[in-house]
Structure 1
Amino acid sequence: MASFQFFSCMTIISLLIISYSFNGCVADPALIDSICRPSVDYAFCISVVGATADLHDLALISISVTAISIQDTQDKIYKLVHQLKDPVTVSRLRLCQSDYNEALSNFQSSFTTTSRNSFFEAMDFVRIGTNNVIGCHNRFRTGPGPISISPIDVDDSNIFKLSGIINIAVDKLIPKK
């Protein structure tokens, strides 16, 4: 279940997009569809990028939403570490804190490089940041210790979906020969 902070930020981003749209830029439904159709979860993608003004804005907004989601998950991990009693799960979550800190740094760098139109570099940061989250995710599936489902499994999956949306959008920004 997503946090209130995530939905608050989504509302703010949506209002900014709507405001931007009324200032002369109109969302291109075909563009949005071309990003969301190949994504893992079409409905999720539409809920994230809904009415962006252009492809560059769509990429930046997707990266921002991902960073917000990562921050929400960091908050969730912190709370879980202090609430749970199982030492294996707590140990894994402590390692996930580090993974998510690195992921956030990489997605922030992706935002910066996308802003500068350094799209290959941006995709590298998205890949590395996603791999950070995969490291956390796999820790529960491979051990050491018993295999289990991560208490942040849904959060991890949302980051994977968002990463896919970012990759599709940024790839479309790369000039094709």
Structure 2
Amino acid sequence: MVETGAWDKLPTLEEQFSGPLASFFAKRLPKHVDVDDLVQEVFMKLVKRGDTASIENIEGYVFRTAHSVLNDHLRRKQSRSEGKHVPMDDFLAVLGSEITPERVILGQEQLQIMLMALKELPTRTQDIFVMRALEEMRSVEIADKLKISTRSVEKHMAKALNYLSSRLGYSDGR
């Protein structure tokens, strides 16, 4: 249960620590993170704690709480693998419109065309394309693995991309 005294002190604490807390979080997190939410989370923890008058070093306590909020935020982010995903809004913005059944069918058809076209390429070119485009291996790694030059890897990759582009109707194939 939250004491009313904690609510009474909140405006004073907010006035005193909002700016420093925002700076604390901004220095430690990427620009896209909503620092204000984290600042408010600190104040909510203070309110839930109750009597802040009994705290000898309120500034130290506030920043220890902020550090705890920061750690919780980073743990949540890591557990959700947030950095490894594109937010859905960003994904939809790239698409330029809604995902319609027609777009899904068109995408499936293009994927089938691409898979068939990939099978038409020489085996080494297929392997290099898969390693580079799908397995995200670097050209140097592919060259070492296949015992060929990086220039050969690049030529095979260019050949695959040109062929797939032409089959998908993105270029004239030259």
TM beyond 0.5: no
Higher Rg: 2
Q: TM-score, normalised by structure 1?
A: 0.24
Higher relative contact order (CA 8 A, sep 6+): 1
Q: TM-score, normalised by structure 2?
A: 0.24
